[in-house]
Amino acid sequence: MDKRMTVDEAVADVADGMTIGIGGWGSRRKPMAFVRALVRKSVKDLTVVSYGGPDIGILCATGQLKKAVYGFVSLDSIPLEPHFRKARQNGALEAVELDEGMFLLGLRAAAQRLPFLPTRAGLGSDVLKINPHLKTVKSPYEDGEELVAVPALNVDVAFIHMNRADASGNGQALGRDPYFDNLYCMAAKKAYMSCEKIVSTDELVSGGPLQSLLINRMMVSGVVEAPGGAHFTECPPDYPRDEKLQREYAATAKDEDAWKAFRAKYLDVTEADYQTAVSP
């Protein structure tokens, strides 16, 4: 089945109040073309589930984010995501802050259609205090150990970005860390994948080791060719992070006019115009 579509078609079903899973990690291989499409679509009251980076930050800045569920929110080279910080410090955001490992177990539980997965992580820490919805569970075996039952992080729609894909939705991560994009897809009712380049299945299979074929076509409902679709986050080996633009973005958290200008130039434009604006 040919699942190719445009980035705007892929976000067409996203409605106000939905829970969105966003792949990548921090400021690494984030599906930014989809994030920009969500901004253009101006859907609101979103919940985002993410190892967060500028995806969460941008949606905080545009006021579209009601709730963030995260293991962290960071721009990597800028450790504290300034727009997220601002939203937290203004009390403008509902937050579910989890230990990074708990977050992974929540994704896995959702992918496995389980209500929860158990872990020791979180016990004794204030993660349980700030998340009163988290419960513990007692091992039914002789050890009787008390463990945290991390609830499934089910999402309505997931967005991920890969280096390569074929038209039917097989996707390839050519960087050195696959992160957890497959789990986001499986945790979602529907998932959409953008990629740097759509190639034939032959080219896809010969384009890297088999282990790089992280996404199979069962996992995704749509495939978008979006060169630069992770920009300004990194997408190795295709491109590094655009540190200059990331710094420019980060600086806008302190200056409302600068944010308006940034938004007008880089967000309230088509994906093609964004790519033109950032091309050297």
Partner 1 sequence: MSRHEATRADVCALAIAECFRDDGEIMVSAMGTSPSLGARLAKSTFEPDLLMTDGFNLLLRKALPLGVAPSDHDVEGWMPFGAVFDTLWWGRRHVMMGASQVDQFGNQNIACIGRWEQPKAQLLGVRGAPGNTINHVTSYWVPNHNARALVAKVDMVSGVGYDRAAALGPNTSRFHEIRRVVSNLGVFDFNTPDHRMRVVSLHPGVKLQQVIDNTGFELVVPDGLDTTPVPTPEQLGVLRELDPQGHAQKEVAT
Residue 127 interacting with partner 1 (CB under 8 A) = yes
Which lies closer to partner 1 via its Cβ, residue 125 or residue 276?
125
Under 8 Å CB-to-CB from 174, ≥6 apart: which residues?
A: 163, 164, 207, 208, 212, 236, 237, 238
Q: State the Cα–Cα distance between residues 163 and 181, nearest whole angstrom.
A: 12
* Minimum gap (Å) between residue 25 Cβ and partner 1: 7
* Minimum gap (Å) between residue 213 Cβ and partner 1: 15
Residue 66 interacting with partner 1 (CB under 8 A) = no
| Structural tokens at position 118 | 């158990």
Residue 91 interacting with partner 1 (CB under 8 A) = yes
Residue 153 interacting with partner 1 (CB under 8 A) = no
In order of 52, 53, 135, 226, the CA distances from 129 in angstroms are 22, 25, 10, 41
* Minimum gap (Å) between residue 158 Cβ and partner 1: 17
Residue 174 interacting with partner 1 (CB under 8 A) = no
Query: In degrees, to the nearest 5, what angle opens at C-alpha 87 toward C-alphas 82 and 90?
Result: 120
Residue 126 interacting with partner 1 (CB under 8 A) = yes
**Please, how many CA atoms are within 13 Å of residue 160, restricted to the half-sphere of its CB?**
33
Q: State the Cα–Cα distance between residues 163 and 50, nearest whole angstrom.
A: 19
Which lies closer to partner 1 via its Cβ, residue 15 or residue 123?
123
How many residues form the binding site for partner 1 (CB under 8 A)?
Answer: 41
Which lies closer to partner 1 via its Cβ, residue 259 or residue 266?
259
Order of strands across the sheet that contains 116-119: 116-119, 146-151, 135-138
> Which window, 9-17, 94-102, 193-201, 249-257, contacts partner 1 (CB under 8 A)?
94-102
Residue 74 interacting with partner 1 (CB under 8 A) = yes
Residue 116 interacting with partner 1 (CB under 8 A) = no
Amino acid at 149: A
Q: State the Cα–Cα distance between residues 241 and 25, nearest whole angstrom.
A: 13
Under 8 Å CB-to-CB from 44, ≥6 apart: which residues?
A: 16, 17, 63, 64, 66
Residue 104 interacting with partner 1 (CB under 8 A) = yes
Residue 133 interacting with partner 1 (CB under 8 A) = no
* Minimum gap (Å) between residue 11 Cβ and partner 1: 27
Which lies closer to partner 1 via its Cβ, residue 144 or residue 280?
144
Which DSSP helix (H) or strand (E) runs through 189? strand 188-198
Peptide bond into 232 cis (omega under 30): yes
* Minimum gap (Å) between residue 21 Cβ and partner 1: 16
Residue 121 interacting with partner 1 (CB under 8 A) = yes
Q: State the Cα–Cα distance between residues 213 and 208, nearest whole angstrom.
A: 8
Which lies closer to partner 1 via its Cβ, residue 146 or residue 273?
146
Residue 84 interacting with partner 1 (CB under 8 A) = yes
Residue 143 interacting with partner 1 (CB under 8 A) = yes
Residues forming the site for partner 1 (CB under 8 A): 25, 70-74, 79-80, 84-85, 88-91, 97-102, 104, 119-127, 129-130, 143-146, 176-180
